[in-house]
Amino acid sequence: MQKHNFHTHTRYSDGHDTPRQMIEEAVSRGFTSLGFSDHSYAWFESYYSMSPEGTAASYREIRALAREYRGVIDIYAGVELDGESGIPSLDYDFILSSVHEMVRHGVSMPIDSGEAIQRKLVDELFGGSFTDFTKAYFESLTEHVLRNRTDIVGHIDLPTKYSLCPEEDPRYRDAAREAVREIVKACPVFELNTGAIARGLRTVPYPAPFILDEIKAAGGSLIVNSDCHYRARLTCWFDEAEDYLASHGFEKNENQRLNSRISGVTLWR
């Protein structure tokens, strides 16, 4: 099992543990590194995002903890950057880019805050068309990654969280494949995200197998992340992920470099 996670939330956004508690959990599991990625502040009102004050406090605390735990575990200050957040002002070690909100005509609605809310989003912003919704989502994520520095692409097919999207529709699949082909030009690292498994919403991780195939064909790679909000679930599905990725033709590559600051990670290609 790999010994790192680069999608980790704390009480500064919508996680349930402090940074120190997460670090202690990681140490107890023999981790060599842990990357924090609380949700970035954005203009829309959101229960899950950091406040401006929380953003600064989180950064200071994680930097202090990185110094405190030096020699025990490598701690990295990152952020899960939403497409509506703009360029971060802080010097993060890594950026995980994702889209959690759809914005149309100045109205913002969350993608993954419950099945009923997603249905409302599609009805009110896309005239009830899940095909139009997912096409707009993939376009938004692509634009976000091409516009902003990105080290990891987060849960690329997040709209499928509640099994409402037309995943067998050729139009959906074409939009997803096109997104992969464009995104990989700017960021080759996508995450295999096990977070919805931890929440009991899925039995397999993001992304879907056909997207995995497209990532491989496009020359991209995968990093396994638990999208952790509870420290007890820090390594959710990590063991299973190895067999899962191998069954889809990916090979494990250890001691790889994520960016100029972060090395020693496991990537699957």
- Please give the pLDDT value at position 84: 87
d(CA 215, CA 180): 6
Which one has a higher pLDDT value, 1 or 25?
25
Q: What is the domain extent for residue 237?
A: 4-268
Summarised one tens digit per residue, pLDDT across range 73-107 is: 999 999 999 988 888 999 999 999 999 999 998 88
d(CA 136, CA 125): 11
Q: Indicate the number of domains in the chain.
A: 1
Q: Tell me, what DSSP letter sits at residue 51?
A: P
DSSP three-state, residue 244 = helix
**CA-based Rg of the chain, rounded to a whole angstrom?**
17
Structure tokens at 133: 């919704």
Q: What share of the chain is helix, strand, coil (3-state, %, to 5)?
A: 40, 20, 40
- Please give the pLDDT value at position 1: 73
Q: What is the 3-state secondary structure (H, E, C) of 137-194?
A: HHHHHHHHHHHCCCCEECCCCHHHHHCCCCCCCHHHHHHHHHHHHHHCCCCCEEEEEC
Secondary structure element (H or E) that encloses residue 117, with its range: helix 115-126
Summarised one tens digit per residue, pLDDT across range 190-228 is: 999 999 999 999 999 999 999 999 999 999 999 999 999
Of all residues in the chain, the percent with pLDDT exceeding 70 is 100
- Please give the pLDDT value at position 45: 67
- Please give the pLDDT value at position 2: 85
- 12 Cβ contact list (under 8 Å, min separation 6): 19, 38, 50, 54, 55, 57, 58
Mean pLDDT of all residues in 56-70: 99
Does the reported pTM lie above 0.75? yes
d(CA 256, CA 74): 15
Domain harbouring 160, CATH code: 3.20.20.140
pLDDT-derived band of residue 64, with 50, 70 and 90 as boundaries?
very high
- Please give the pLDDT value at position 236: 98
Helix axes 130-147, 115-126, angle to 10 degrees: 90
Summarised one tens digit per residue, pLDDT across range 115-163 is: 999 999 999 999 999 999 999 999 999 999 999 999 999 999 999 999 9
| Angle, CA 243 vertex, CA 239 and CA 249 arms, to 5° | 140
